[in-house]
Chain A
Amino acid sequence: MNLALTEMKRSKLKFGLLIGAVALLVFLVLFLTTLSTALVTSITGALNGLDGQVLVYSDAARDNLQASRLPPTVVAEVEKVPGVAAAGGVTLGTVSAELLDGSGDLQLVGSTAGEPGAPTGLVAGELPARKDEIAMDGSGYALGDEVTLSEVDRALTVVGLLKGSQFNASPTGYVVPAVYDEVVRAANPGVPFVPLNAVAVAVSPGADPAVVAQQITDDVPKVKGYVKGDAVSLIPGVESITQTFGILVGLTFVIGIVVIGFFFLILTVQKMRTFTLLRAIGASTGKLSAAVAVQIAVVVIAAGILAVLLTYGAVQGLSTGIPVTLSPVLVTGTVGAVLLFSLLAGLLSIRRISGIDPATAAGAR
């Protein structure tokens, strides 16, 4: 005979509606968070996924990779800075290409496998080692497919697939530097050299990336070094996306907690006569509070399961063009946080219960 569960069984509609309402709110939290993570990853993934702990841009680039132009000779200069173990150039630009779904823009990244600056998001195949190879993220490519770069009219074979490595939320292809150079030279004949956009740096074991970044800024003229994480958060748009979604998620979360807290407070107030009776016949405040806590836990867990199913369905049905995945850490973290804060909100009810004077059950006025 469990008081809390028996009551829920008897009032299926009431608790069902509450579970539904809470499920929708948890769903919103999960969905918004998943979406914002996907959005941010699609913008930052490429940069974040580059091998190395420090990135170097030209000092005139105003923290923007795409505006950065560095002479290829800078790699050797950076390598001489104390604390730098290895350095590699990274080139990046938008090119037109024949993709699976017709011609369109492709973010083309040139870097050398095994050197700093190579992508780390490989999920299948390998990184390109030759001039007729490319590794792709996005647009549903499979190993062995072909991508034709319009500027040079050359077909490259897809030898690797990457995930979370997109730039600008667009299909992104990784090639050896020579292919990238070729494309640039085809579009701009007569350029003296193809500039690098960035130099990626692997720091020596034990060296502090922040110190190394500063050292590079100090030692090498006309460049600025960044710890990779800083460079990522300086990508235009990232901060505003993170903030906007943060506010939405936070608000939804708070509303969810308030709904649960107030609903159970109302339920408790409605049951005051019953609780008073139970106190009078010898139920302790703790036992009655536990009953409220059990109900809150059941509601939140049931709502959590429902919300995960809803989110999963929504993610499957979503066609955003950017890869969206539901993270188990996010799910358990969110449901756990809702549960914790709901139980705290349940203290409102428990305060009412602990204030009961059992004598009033006897009705001595």
Chain B
Amino acid sequence: MTDDFVPAHPDQPGLDPAVDAGEHGDAILSLRDVSKVYQSGDSEVRAVSGATMAVEQEEFVSLLGPSGSGKTTLISMIGGLLSPTSGQILVGGTDVGALSSRELTRFRAERVGFVFQSANLVPFLTARENLLYVSTLQKRVSRKEAQKRADQLLSELGLADRAKNLPEQLSGGERQRVAIGRALMNDPDLILVDEPTAALDTQLGRQVVELLAREVKQRGKTGIMVTHDLRMVQYTDRVFEILDGHLTHVEQPSALQH
């Protein structure tokens, strides 16, 4: 189990969240005994069972696991896209499971940057516009600020000369980088990245992950990257593994073979 990182009570439900938060220090993200059961017809799929974890600011962790093990389900719950069947998810003190669907929409707009497994960009918007649209989802950013931020992100991601291109005019790696820029655009607390390298060759994959790691560190974010590519975990601080819905913190990712 993951007791070396989360020192106490991984399987004790119903604890006071304040107490819990205290025990995790400055953990931006903490999960306690989170489960997700999908109901499809008569059958139930237990995609995640009793997941407990904590991730701190400026930490970039990876989430490893074979296909169908529950990786996407887990980060979808963390990102406010899915509600857990049981357990508690705290993001910067917010109990995500307790939010209404309207509040969840705002939570996603303001607190989370998500890079999805597929279909990340709006096809009829240019790279720059894909970033700018994010700022229209929040009231607090002025147009000027947004443009400055978008341009800065694009140039950090090496896309300055690609800003005016539509997604269909970009390579897979460029698209992936635009998606990362999009995820960073709203200055989120949490960056959740689902298989950023799946569609890329090793060389490009490394570049993208290095870049992610750099952004997380430089901007003081908390990042979770889902992958099943063991070579990518070297860029992350810690590794979690999920097998059949059971989450564990592992010391030696290189020992894992899928």
Q: Mark A residues whose CB is within 8 Å of B.
A: 1, 3, 6-7, 10-11, 273-274, 276-284, 287, 358-359, 361-365
* Candidates A6, A276, A281, A364; contact of B108 at CB < 8 Å: A281
**A6-B124 CB under 8 A given contacts A280-B116, A282-B137, A363-B116:** yes
A350 to B116, alpha carbons, bound, how many Å?
24
**A358-B133 CB under 8 A given contacts A281-B114, A281-B182, A363-B116:** no
From B75, B79, B182, residue with most partner A Cβ within 10 Å: B79
Residues of B within 8 A of A11 (CB): 124
Q: Give the nearest-CB partner of B118 in chain A.
A: A363
Residues of B within 8 A of A359 (CB): 76, 81-82
When the two chains form their complex, are residues A364 and B119 in contact, meaning their CB atoms are under 8 A apart?
no
When the two chains form their complex, are residues A362 and B106 in contact, meaning their CB atoms are under 8 A apart?
no
When the two chains form their complex, are residues A277 and B119 in contact, meaning their CB atoms are under 8 A apart?
yes
When the two chains form their complex, are residues B73 and A281 in contact, meaning their CB atoms are under 8 A apart?
no
Q: List 26 A-B contacts (CB under 8 A).
A: A1-B133, A1-B136, A3-B125, A3-B133, A6-B125, A6-B129, A10-B166, A274-B119, A274-B122, A276-B119, A277-B122, A281-B182, A282-B137, A283-B137, A287-B137, A358-B81, A358-B108, A359-B81, A361-B116, A362-B75, A362-B81, A362-B82, A362-B114, A362-B116, A363-B118, A364-B72
Residues of A within 8 A of B119 (CB): 273-274, 276-277, 361, 363
Q: Give the nearest-CB partner of B109 in chain A.
A: A282
Q: Give the nearest-CB partner of A1 in chain B.
A: B132
A211 to B106, alpha carbons, bound, how many Å?
67
Nearest CB of B to A281, in Å: 6
Residues of A within 8 A of B109 (CB): 281-283
From 110 to 150 in chain B, residues with beta carbon under 8 angstroms from any chain A beta carbon are: 110, 112, 114, 116-125, 129, 132-137
Residues of A within 8 A of B112 (CB): 282
A36 to B76, alpha carbons, bound, how many Å?
61
B47 within 8 A of A: yes
When the two chains form their complex, are residues B125 and A282 in contact, meaning their CB atoms are under 8 A apart?
no
Residues of B within 8 A of A282 (CB): 105-110, 112, 134, 137, 186
From 31 to 45 in chain B, residues with beta carbon under 8 angstroms from any chain A beta carbon are: none
A287 to B166, alpha carbons, bound, how many Å?
23
B102 within 8 A of A: yes
Residues of B within 8 A of A362 (CB): 72, 75-76, 79, 81-82, 114, 116-117, 194
Residues of B within 8 A of A276 (CB): 119
Nearest CB of B to A48, in Å: 54
* Candidates A3, A6, A279, A361; contact of B105 at CB < 8 Å: A279
From B117, B124, B129, B186, residue with most partner A Cβ within 10 Å: B124
A129 to B132, alpha carbons, bound, how many Å?
76
A280 to B114, alpha carbons, bound, how many Å?
8
A11 to B108, alpha carbons, bound, how many Å?
29
When the two chains form their complex, are residues B72 and A363 in contact, meaning their CB atoms are under 8 A apart?
yes
The 8 A CB mask of B75-92 against A (1 = contact, 0 = none) is: 110010110000000000
Nearest CB of B to A365, in Å: 8
Q: Give the nearest-CB partner of B133 in chain A.
A: A1
Q: Give the nearest-CB partner of B82 in chain A.
A: A359
* Candidates B105, B120, B133; contact of A284 at CB < 8 Å: B105
When the two chains form their complex, are residues A363 and B117 in contact, meaning their CB atoms are under 8 A apart?
yes
A216 to B103, alpha carbons, bound, how many Å?
73
Residues of B within 8 A of A364 (CB): 47, 72-73, 76, 82
When the two chains form their complex, are residues A277 and B120 in contact, meaning their CB atoms are under 8 A apart?
yes
11 more CB-based (< 8 A) A-B contacts, given A273-B119, A282-B134, A362-B114? A3-B125, A3-B133, A10-B166, A277-B122, A280-B81, A362-B82, A362-B194, A363-B116, A363-B117, A364-B73, A365-B72
A280 to B186, alpha carbons, bound, how many Å?
14
Nearest CB of A to B147, in Å: 9
Nearest CB of B to A354, in Å: 11
A279 to B125, alpha carbons, bound, how many Å?
16
Nearest CB of A to B189, in Å: 13
Q: Give the nearest-CB partner of A8 in chain B.
A: B124
A274 to B124, alpha carbons, bound, how many Å?
9
A281 to B188, alpha carbons, bound, how many Å?
11
Residues of A within 8 A of B124 (CB): 6-7, 10-11, 274
A362 to B76, alpha carbons, bound, how many Å?
7
A7 to B108, alpha carbons, bound, how many Å?
23
When the two chains form their complex, are residues A280 and B108 in contact, meaning their CB atoms are under 8 A apart?
yes
Residues of A within 8 A of B132 (CB): 1
